[in-house]
């Protein structure tokens, strides 16, 4: 992990860009106290770090005010990171099916999501190794993110993650629904009820499948990007309950 830039935001939060191999990322930390900082891994949506920076920094500042460090890394195939042909093909197949009003098949969903999960999850684990090696950052660790299949797999395979906020707004392969049954950490799942890019029924089935004893679904009105401010506040309270 190499820090490439550093600046202090007006509220005192330290923002540091870094690279982890060839993966760009950003770390935000509040002024360090005597105790090691809990950490939130904030996965960006697959639109890329640069396009979603305003949302990411707003959440990171809010988390910093609650005493948390926040880190994000670019997803495989997003931003300036290289695409891979199979993903491009799956995206084209998805667009074609949706434009034609045809059902999105399991084959398309698997081809779109599973390779992304396979690539992204070990990257987040490597990032976690590096982040927990930094002075002042100690955990516990929460995960918050947009591609719910990545969060689901991470929650199964990464024991250092204690709690997760998941956003039910993307296609979910059947294999991931099966993995969901093995998730045991507390979950806070956000669902936009009228999300145009999301199958509500599938999202509810995934929520039902999670094995966690504590899981909460917060469904709000509006489309994919219309998450109301109070829903963000509720997610912050969930982390405050579980990461301290």
CB of 24 to a second copy, least distance (A): 35
Burial string for 60-89 (b: 16+ CB within 10 Å, else e) reads bbebbeeebbbbbbbbbbbbebeeeeebee
CB of 161 to a second copy, least distance (A): 19
25 vs 186, beta carbon nearer a second copy: 186
37 vs 189, beta carbon nearer a second copy: 189
Residues that bind a second copy (CB under 8 A): 193, 204, 207-208, 212-221, 228, 230-231, 234, 237, 241
3 vs 230, beta carbon nearer a second copy: 230
CB of 162 to a second copy, least distance (A): 16
3 vs 193, beta carbon nearer a second copy: 193
Whole-angstrom Cα distance, residue 128 to residue 218? 27
Task: Pinpoint the alpha helices (H) of the chain.
Answer: 49-65, 85-99, 106-132, 148-157, 174-180, 200-209, 229-242
And the tokens for 244? 């301290």
Whole-angstrom Cα distance, residue 51 to residue 222? 21
CB of 244 to a second copy, least distance (A): 14
14 vs 177, beta carbon nearer a second copy: 177
CB of 79 to a second copy, least distance (A): 33
Omega within 30 of 0 (cis) for the link into 140: yes
């Amino acid at each position: 992990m190499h820090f490439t830039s550093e600046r202090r935001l007006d509220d005192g939060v330290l923002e540091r860009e870094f690279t982890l191999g060839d993966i760009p990322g950003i770390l935000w930390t509040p002024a360090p106290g005597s105790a090691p900082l809990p950490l939130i891994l904030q996965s960006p949506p697959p639109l890329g770090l640069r396009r979603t920076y305003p949302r990411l920094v707003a959440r990171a500042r809010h988390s910093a005010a609650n005493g948390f460090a926040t880190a994000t890394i670019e997803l495989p195939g997003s931003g300036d990171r290289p695409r891979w042909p199979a993903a491009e093909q799956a995206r084209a197949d998805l667009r074609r099916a949706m434009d034609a009003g045809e059902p999105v098949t399991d084959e398309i969903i698997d081809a779109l999501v599973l390779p992304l999960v396979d690539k992204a999850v070990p990257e987040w684990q490597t990032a976690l190794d590096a982040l927990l090696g930094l002075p002042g950052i100690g955990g516990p660790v929460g995960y918050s993110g947009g591609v719910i299949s990545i969060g689901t797999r991470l929650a199964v395979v990464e024991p250092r993650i204690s709690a997760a906020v998941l956003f039910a707004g993307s296609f979910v392969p059947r294999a991931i629904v099966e993995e969901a049954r093995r998730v045991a950490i507390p979950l806070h799942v956000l669902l936009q009820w009228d999300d145009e890019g999301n199958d509500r029924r599938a999202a509810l089935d995934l929520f039902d499948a999670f094995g966690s004893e504590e899981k909460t679904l917060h469904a709000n009105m509006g489309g994919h990007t219309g998450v109301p401010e109070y829903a963000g506040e509720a997610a912050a309270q969930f982390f405050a309950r579980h990461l301290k």
